[in-house]
Structure 1
Amino acid sequence: MNTAELHTLTGAYALHALSDEEHATFERHLRACDACVQEVRELAATAGKLGLAVSVVPPLELKDAVLRRIAAVRQDPPQTPAPARTTGRRFRPGRWSRFALAACLAAAAGLGGIAVWQHQRADDAQQQARAAQQQSEQLAQVLAAPDAKATTGTLKDGATGTLVVAHSRNQAVFVASGLPHPPDGKVYQLWLNDAGTMRPAGLLTPSRTTEAVLLAGPVNRASGMGITVEPAGGSPAPTSGPLVLMSFATT
């Protein structure tokens, strides 16, 4: 493995997604590469913030609600997977470990779907949980991408924001930490910066001070992102000055 390839392993190393051989090789590389050391530190912090952003404390009544549903919901029969086709391609432990870790992270982050599940009718619980799981999987995949790059900035009242972009997936994730609640009837809206034109990229949940969001839309035409305060429901174009503008990390 050459030096150029080693530089791409920062994200997988930060998420403990390397094989034993790759891990040992990359740690030797870290002893002589300050840039990779800094990038690993930033990605590890981002992964931690994502975990905090989606974690919730289940209410006391959740246990009773689940126990009541057990008697009324029929268990699905076990699924027998179809035999895998042999393609002749060589198995690569490193790639599999990265995929497995991303799936594990997504499963853990998907527990955030409990907050949605408990406020919906039981008939809607599975659909809501599946949507939350898909969102969490995409968040984890962006973080685990070999080319994931992170930028951290200061917002307002001591809040921080971390922007992670993975051009190989054409996606970006934004993590807000310690952000004050917006005024009543307002919401924080995210924008992608396309050569000075701001494109809507999602909303932050007004009731949360820490949250991870997968930015809506491709990032290949964008150079960064911004945040504004908008009327509830969001706006097609910014109606206020940006709280912060962040550029995508390039190194």
Structure 2
Amino acid sequence: MTAELHILTGAYAVNAVPEEEAEAFKRHLRGCPACAQEVREFQETAARLGSALAAVPPPRLRNATLAQVARTRQWPPLVAAVRRPRAAKKPPIRVALWGAAAAAAGALVFGLVTTNTEPGTDPAQRQLASVNSVLTAPDASTAKGAEPGTATVVTSRSQGKIVVLAGDLPPLAPGKAYQVWFIGKSGVHSAGMLADDGPHRTRPVLADLPGGIDRVGITAEPAGGSPAPTVPAVVMVNLA
């Protein structure tokens, strides 16, 4: 039961866990700092995704909604009382987890759809939509670094994508910036720079998932980036 609770962080962050499982997960959070931190990261990411894509609904949407309200029955029709069947047995925890994961995906996708009524053409909006797609993929896998600061890596092999989320990293010296590296049998390859996104947090890094990598590292490099790491990693995340 405890091992399975660890995978509920994403669903719990968007309030998509059934009430009974949510209570059990709350108790689990009190004794698991790693899961508590991961929940905070997912909540911050979900909030940034929603706020970045927020848009004022067009007037036609309000008019259409009011017109539909005027045509909709406000009270249910009177019907004879129907005896409700006995509640089915509670499904096993693994079935409930699949439902929670699906609900989490639906919650985030719903937020993107309802906050942007027109197809987005802005590159930042498309980037955030792609990040959201990886975070809510059915096969999304999460790994977390153990060093000071926070770094979470989410991969989806079905989409062939990887997302790196980082925050609370040590302050940088002037002229320095954080750079993300993919590390594996084929060597070390840059995945891009971490851009600031407010105090103590950075924007998600989205990249194609290369084959054969088993670690993701973050180093402090010159602001323009380096062709290879020049210093030891500040954070190292093992994917295996």
Give the TM-score band, short-chain normalised: 0.5 to 0.7
Match of 2:185 among 182, 185, 195: 195
Q: Report Cα offsets for 1:186-223 as digits up to 9, x if no partner.
A: 11000111226111112112574212413322243321
Residue in 1 that maps onto 2:225: 234
2:109 to 90, 103, 115: 103
TM-score (norm 1): 0.55
Which residue pairs with 2:89 in the alignment?
Answer: none
CA displacement at 1:182 relative to structure 2: 1.9
Aligned CA distance change for structure 1 residues 149 and 41 (closer, same or farther; 3 Å): farther
- Pairwise CA distance, 1:11: 7.2
Taking structure 2 as the reference length, what is the TM-score of the superposition? Answer: 0.57
1:56, CA displacement in angstroms?
7.8
CA contact (8 A) 2:181 2:216 kept: yes
Q: Which moved more, 1:194-203 or 1:45-54?
A: 45-54
The two structures, once aligned, show a CA RMSD in angstroms of 4.3
Are 2:152 and 1:146 equivalent residues in the alignment?
A: no
From 121, 132, 138, the equivalent of 2:124 is 132
Cα distance between partner residues in 2 of 1:224 and 1:97: 30
SS of structure 1 residue aligned to 2:139: coil
Quick check: 97-106 or 200-209, which moved more? 97-106
CA contact (8 A) 1:164 1:172 kept: yes
The equivalent position to 1:50 in structure 2, one of 45, 50, 56, is 45
Report the identity percentage.
24
Match of 2:65 in 1: none
Gaps of 5+ in 1: 1-5, 58-74, 79-92, 111-125
Say whether 1:177 aligns with 2:172: no
Structure 2 stretches of 5 or more lacking a match? 53-57, 62-98
Cα deviation, residue 152, structure 1: 2.2
